[in-house]
Structure 1
């Protein structure tokens, strides 16, 4: 249906697991998830840190790489590092995750590592954040990956412009943005702003859809009520056109989070996510 590569982000195949759960691990074995993604047509796969730990314990990192390769999953995304900008006990815990993600990225040949902003929207110093981001980008570059920050409309880095300010201040070529269209739409970002993003600064793109009105809080809406591409209110063709104008040609991430999606058998969930995104990109 499309000649462009699609990447199943971590939640799309995670089954009954959610970002707002105390235990974020997927109840499904990685083999089952990878086989479902590959059978649906995906050529990329996203893996959450909590699931990476379980997968390494079960298969070993070389085994995980072989599992991905056996299922045609050549684009690997790892996530989600927080507290990389801070100090004290939170930074110490974050550094453990950082080391594991960098080590896994090198063995798995990951294309990028995804990091987040301060979801508590606390005060922050751009110079400090830029220095920390540049250092982290250099580490990612050292293992053959890129570093992408995902801006969130309830965080300290809310919009694509905020993200670009940080990335530009950091100045490392391996650093850039993860542009999730759910976040750009909920932040009321016009497509023209996406078309103006330098192609060199786009590390990843994520597609989904949603209702015209936010259901509950923004966090509840993004975790519980996303829709498959084309089944909501977003002007997705305009967003895709804008991102193509910016120079993006994939792999296109597909990130479906909803109670309805989590309830589906993983093969059915992967098939639906792939089919609707592929139809959009035709």
Structure 2
């Protein structure tokens, strides 16, 4: 079912159309074809699409980068997000592996015209040197800028960057204009960050926003809750209208990412998954967003 588009475009993040896979399940690779996923996202009304590294590798093998770009263009997907780089701050074998992923992501970002690259913090919350991280982030942001993309770091409440404030301190210390934040509202809510704090984030430092919903009570660990029990927008406890208003106050106008991760969502056929994710997110964005 094709819905009326919004003036503020929506982006289907990688997990929203990935089917029966999730972070922490092997390499996270989807069993679905990129064609099926792109067609489902475009038919639902999305104007953006997210792809995790394992799926990028598989899709390039199947279609080539030129074929992938054509698939996105044919389905009206003009905002591309590539993820998820970790260990960009370290050294040794972990850094060697990270740098190989980095090269692939940068090469693909340039060929595909990606809007931004998403990177992560230290999920294990180990001791870290803030100045060294700022330098590494600035260097990586410069590389992203060199291929025409921005760089966004996603803070996570169980990591060394737990809140939007922690993330903002890093990107401001790094100082590169191409660097900024991915603000996932699941993480801001679980870190108990009020919407008013989001309104204070400089608009130039917001690279991406991700919408979802959840129950008020966390079940299991934060990681388990975020990958198994997210709800569709408007079907949980989050004050999404207040959060959206706060983000709009920064000047943010999209694309709004929609990241639905749950045991329930993974069982939906991809067309249904894309359609319900788009419809519910467009609903909380409100009638003012509809053309």
Range into which the TM-score falls when normalised by the shorter chain: over 0.9
Distance 1:274 1:55 in 2: 24
Aligned residues: 282
Number of the residue aligned with 1:190: 194
Give 1:203-282 correspondences, 5 Å limit: 203-282=207-286
Task: Tell me whether 1:15 sits opposite 2:16 in the alignment.
Answer: no
Deviations 1:81-138 (A, max 9, x none): 0000000000000000000000000000000000000000000001000000000000
Give 1:1-282 correspondences, 5 Å limit: 1=4, 2-282=6-286
Distance 1:186 1:247 in 2: 24
Aligned partner of residue 16 in structure 2, secondary structure: helix
Aligned partner of residue 99 in structure 2, secondary structure: helix
Aligned partner of residue 256 in structure 1, secondary structure: coil
Distance 2:213 2:235 in 1: 7
Deviations 1:168-221 (A, max 9, x none): 100000000000000000000011110000000000000000000001110000
TM-score of the superposition, structure 2-length normalised? 0.96
Deviations 1:39-69 (A, max 9, x none): 0000000000000000000000010000000
> Could you tell me how far 1:3 is from its partner in structure 2?
2.0
Aligned partner of residue 226 in structure 1, secondary structure: coil
Distance 2:7 2:236 in 1: 24
Distance 1:11 1:28 in 2: 12
> Could you tell me how far 1:20 is from its partner in structure 2?
1.5
Distance 1:16 1:30 in 2: 14
> Could you tell me how far 1:4 is from its partner in structure 2?
1.3
Which runs of 5 or more residues in structure 2 are unaligned?
A: 287-291
> Could you tell me how far 1:23 is from its partner in structure 2?
3.2
TM-score of the superposition, structure 1-length normalised? 0.99
Quote the RMSD (CA, aligned, Å).
0.5
Divergent runs of 4+, >3 A: none
Distance 1:23 1:236 in 2: 31
